[in-house]
Amino acid sequence: MISDTAKEIFILGMTRQGKLFRPSDWAERLAGVMSQFRPGGPQPGSHLRYSPWCVPTVVGKVKCVIVHTDLREYEVLAWDFCINFAIDNELQISETRPELHFGSGH
């Protein structure tokens, strides 16, 4: 469950079982789909940039998507899409920046 006080969530490209999620560009794909949801609404060329509310990044060596809760206020269906994507694919969700460390074998 996501608390009402969270400002952003991290969807990690790691399953609850600890396996890396594939395809390797999943974060960019998810953020690309969300690119039209942005402050001020879609604008010409906005599909060419990620929304500030849904940004792909890397934490440790794991791809993540940072989803800002302003997306939920702007368009709850877009927020639900991101959350359900994580749930359906059994991805880890965190309200704080995860600390991911890997040994030399990874």
CB 89 within 8 Å of CB 13: no
pLDDT for res 73: 93
Joined together, the tokens standing for residue 101 give 């460390």
pTM: 0.85
CATH architecture of 8-94: 2-Layer Sandwich (3.30)
**Which of 11-15, 75-79, 97-101, 102-106 bottoms out in mean pLDDT, i.e. has the lowest?**
102-106
Residue boundaries of the structural domains of the chain: 8-94
Digit-coded pLDDT (tens) for 7-53: 999 999 999 999 999 999 999 999 999 999 999 887 777 777 899 99
More confident residue, 48 or 104: 48
Q: Give the residue carrying structure tokens 């877009």.
A: 78
Strand (E) or helix (H) holding 105: none
